[in-house]
Chains A and B, each alone.
Chain A
């Protein structure tokens, strides 16, 4: 017997007056997975999350949680706690009282409430601040209070709406560690909305890329990075070179930079767009005699620690990014005007559909 996934979005559409924020969405969230929604602002990712929490009502379609339709269930009757981008801590309550709020609403008695709240604050490493005014806590501490407040009722699913966007970069990395560890330990399903690729790729089991109210691709970070489903995903993920041309045989494409061989089966004389990840190129000053070769000129360089991104221009104005180890820079000359030759394995080119 097939077990029903924890959450099912069944033909969900959300319209705001004349604007369609979410266009006919179908997907499933599995029990215990860490799912991230990622996309540019206005892509519908937050609206999707708010529909799950009951803060927006779908214009069409059905949302089911554990097999039960949620559409007519009021937000306070769902068990879908959320961690808010603004944290939305209650400023007139101290840290412990904030955490107790959800338990109080469930009619749990005072002593038990207190003990559970303190347990959770302890677990998140801020037990000593339990009686402190939330306004006097640091960003990271407030973040932990918000997490404890959402998790204290032990839900099956936790919603997170860009929870780390207000934190400093070093704290973001720390909190990513805290979140993944918690998710593994608790086995709770996390649904995480973010515009940050590094957050989504670092934590999620599966990532949903959204664009203009539609799902562009669902898959693991690796799948999305290596085999983007379409041009939008390839561009959004960055670090990809998108090359267009016309198929002249089942395996060869004529591009502005010459004829290149791909591993995929091509329909002759069709338009072909394919991507080559920036780290898949070889680079040298002498032209190899076999394989795929693109001649290019170096335009500029960008250092990010041990990695360097080179920006090059090939024939026909084609712009290419190549990512290499900083230490291998010395292996070839980068004098102005020096012609460089890029090579790639046909198996590392990924043809885009549509």
Chain B
């Protein structure tokens, strides 16, 4: 009994420490974003929303925020569409070289980001397609599609292989079956994938920095403000970005886990 209690206490503290380690920097950033002092030191100065006012009255920040929003939305839609197609191909068809297809399709996130970004820059320059908002969208779609595929594949694997034939058998053509069976079945994972890929694109710095040129996204602007300058504006922007990303990721997690728990007896 006593040992159990002790063990439980140790495990709880351990879990708390892990969370502390992960979230402390973010919480610090949040706290200092409301602190009137220029330098992040303790004791704190007075409470202020001034850094937010300053950050969001900067047209460059607004410009970047808007661009990030556009890039992440378009990236989310494109990469989810590509990810869905790849996942469905994997689910539905058997062909020689299928393993190679799946491995290649899931590969991009395993490439070191700097190398991926350099390669993207070189490649896009060949078509005079670097330095534009579209360049970031292309690069981010390549980066995000595997995440979309992984999430949607997880859901498709729970689908009874007879579900589509059952729909055909009841008079639905293949396209109608896609619309009225496959998409409704995978909808939670499609929404999860949209949120997840939007979050990845919204946060992504390295690739965006390489291919964006003058069309900066929010993470690029943050870094530029930060270079050679200590400015608590960054805390304010960072907190806002964090809130957007975490919201998207939490929605995605809820959708993926909520469905996985539901008993899908055959």
Contacts and interface: CB of A to CB of B under 8 A. Distances in A.
Contacts of A325: none
A149 interface: yes
Contacts of A91: 185, 264
Contacts of A85: 162
A82 interface: yes
A126 B235 CA distance: 60
Contacts of A80: 169
A88 B160 contact: yes
A82 B171 contact: no
Given A91-B185, A91-B264, A101-B167, A84 B173 contact: no
A153 B169 CA distance: 12
Main secondary structure of the interface of A (DSSP, over half): loop
A86 B262 CA distance: 18
Contacts of A82: 166, 169
Interface in B153-212: 160, 162-163, 165-174, 176-177, 180-181, 184-185, 187
Nearest to B163: A88
Main secondary structure of the interface of B (DSSP, over half): helix
B227 interface: no
A92 B263 contact: no
Interface string A301-339: 000000000000000000000000000000000000000
A105 B171 contact: yes
A84 B166 contact: yes
Nearest to A82: B169
B181 A76 contact: no
Nearest to B188: A92
Interface string A21-59: 000000000000000000000000000000001110000
B173 A92 contact: no
Contacts of A81: 169-170
A318 to B, nearest CB: 45
Interface residues of B, number: 25
Interface in B208-266: 262-266
A84 B181 contact: no
A208 B167 CA distance: 28
Contact of B169 (A76, A87, A90): A76
A54 B167 CA distance: 13
Contact of B170 (A55, A74, A135, A149): A149
A76 B168 contact: yes
Contact of B160 (A86, A102, A105): A86
A319 B214 CA distance: 91
A92 B185 contact: yes
Nearest to B184: A92
Contacts of A54: 168
Given A76-B171, A87-B266, 8 more contacts: A74-B168, A75-B165, A76-B174, A88-B162, A90-B163, A90-B167, A135-B265, A153-B170
Interface of A: 53-55, 74-77, 80-82, 84-88, 90-92, 101-102, 105-106, 135, 149-150, 153, 166
